[in-house]
Amino acid sequence: MKDTYRHKGLRKNLVEEVHTKGIDDQRVLEAIMRVPRHLFMDTSFVQYAYKDQAFPIGCGQTISQPYTVAYQTQLLDLRRHDKVLEVGTGSGYQAAILVEMGAKVYTVERQRELFIKAQSFLPSIGYKANFFYGDGYEGLESYAPFDRILVTAGATEVPEKLKVQLKTGGIMVVPLGDSNSQVMTRIEKKGEDEYIETEHGRFVFVPLLKGKSM
Ligand code: SAH
């Protein structure tokens, strides 16, 4: 499938929609304008790619709603060349947004099928990232520390290992709560064991699960 003028037009409308909903970070809006979301979706849902909605991507998982992707990315306050750990690769759409914004991306997925798909698909459309099949609860110790950590599944508590793998001065964004809804939480690491947590509204994510799944 191609990226056509029609797709670009639909993307422009989507950018306007998330902007209207409160996203004003120009870098985030530009990344949404550039990443062809329709290529990340199952063919049966491709006509919905530019609606501001989450959609199934297989293995019982979803590609996040564009507004949610934009919201998390804006909170992350990304700088070019930042080393970013993403937990929950899923379709790879959020990873592509981060790469588009100049980040060096390390992304972990616990579902083998999704990991394999994203690992071959993203480079095929020009997005280079580092893909890992594993449990994001553990982070990626051998690649730590990270400037930014983005968790794209709902956690019941802050994964302790991720806090440790954050650089001092770094920022983690993680949805925290039960399976019904989560509070978007931004954690800034101020010192070795000093963190500032702020809360940023309610969202609904698929759960962050422990361990790997075949
Ligand atoms: N960022 C994704 C959103 C995917 S939904 C996108 O842009 O499409 C959340 C993903 O987190 C799912 O694919 C799910 O399998 C994965 N996940 C859940 N728990 C995980 C864990 N402990 N480690 C890694 N991935 C996990």
Residue ranges per structural domain of the chain: 54-203
Has domain 54-203 been given CATH number 3.40.50.150? Answer: yes
What is the whole-number distance in angstroms between the Cα of residue 47 and the centre of ligand 1?
23
Instruction: Read off the pLDDT of each residue in 124-132 and give the average, rounded to a whole number.
Output: 97
Q: What pLDDT, on a 0 to 100 scale, did the predictor assign at position 44?
A: 63
Q: What pLDDT, on a 0 to 100 scale, did the predictor assign at position 58?
A: 81
Does the structure show a pLDDT above 90 at 61?
A: no
Pairing between strand 166-177 and 104-109? unpaired
Question: Nearest 5°: CA angle at 109, between 200 and 192?
Answer: 55
pTM reported for the whole predicted model: 0.96
Mutate to test the pocket of ligand 1, among 42, 115, 131, 209 (most ligand atoms within 8 A of CB): 209
Q: Is 64 one of the catalytic residues?
A: yes
What is the whole-number distance in angstroms between the Cα of residue 141 and the centre of ligand 1?
18
